[in-house]
Amino acid sequence: MTRSPDQGAAGPAAAAPLGAPQDGEFAAYYGNYVARAGVGDVAALLATLAAQPQALAELFTRVPADRETWSYGPGKWSFRQVVSHLVDAERVFGFRAFCFSRRDDHPLPSFEENDYVARGGADGITLADHLREFALVRASNLAFLRRLPDCAWTARGTASGNPFTVRALGWILAGHPNHHIAVTRERYAAALR
């Protein structure tokens, strides 16, 4: 049976509540990111997502070129690795949201962030190039999210063995960079101009 975009497994969907996601829409681990999104509805979420590439650029352009591969401690990521990680996460969370919005019921794999960073060659790519890539991936995700029908925001799927809604992934897309902005300001301050 083929379902229309307005139907879930049980038939036509009711109007989706487009406020912040609730417990049960995401794995507990992501609660910090959901909270850090700092928005109460989808309209505010979309505005935040649109503004974040500029906020990241403003923060990371304060890094002198000779400090881009600096980190605040052994085993900690460099500035370039942090932004590369943001690009990786943007792709992964956006892909999850896309799949779930299309009612794809195949479980999606985990995202091993440290493995991705270790294998990504981030320190060989300028910070400016990482920031441009983030802006491009975010623009793609934002275009997709802006055209979702209301009922798609509450569509569910499984990733890393946990349930997620598209709405929760939208909040995670906003909260995750906010988390790394805060960490950068706190722990990397010595290397910022």
The residues, ordered by sequence, that sit 6+ positions from 86 with a Cβ below 8 Å of its Cβ are 56, 130, 134, 176, 177, 180
Q: How is 127-171 classified by DSSP, letter by letter?
A: HHHHHHHHHHHHHHHHHHHHT--GGGGG-EEEETTEEEEHHHHHH
Local confidence band at 10 (pLDDT 50, 70, 90 cut-offs): very low
- What is the per-residue pLDDT across 79-130, written as a single tens digit (0 to 9) for each? 999 999 999 999 999 999 999 999 999 999 999 999 999 999 999 999 999 9
Give me Rg for the CA atoms of the chain: 17
This prediction's pTM: 0.90
Query: Which pLDDT band holds residue 8 (cuts at 50, 70, 90)?
Result: very low
Instruction: Tell me the C-alpha distance between 75 and 157, whole Å.
Output: 33
Q: 182-193, pLDDT tens digit by residue?
A: 999 999 988 887
CATH topology of domain 28-191: Four Helix Bundle (Hemerythrin (Met), subunit A) (1.20.120)
Cβ proximity of 93 and 173 under 8 Å: yes
Closest CA to 157 of 87, 90, 92: 92
How does pLDDT run across 25-59, given as a tens digit for each residue? 999 999 999 999 999 999 999 999 999 999 999 99
Q: How confident is residue 12, by pLDDT bands cut at 50, 70 and 90?
A: very low
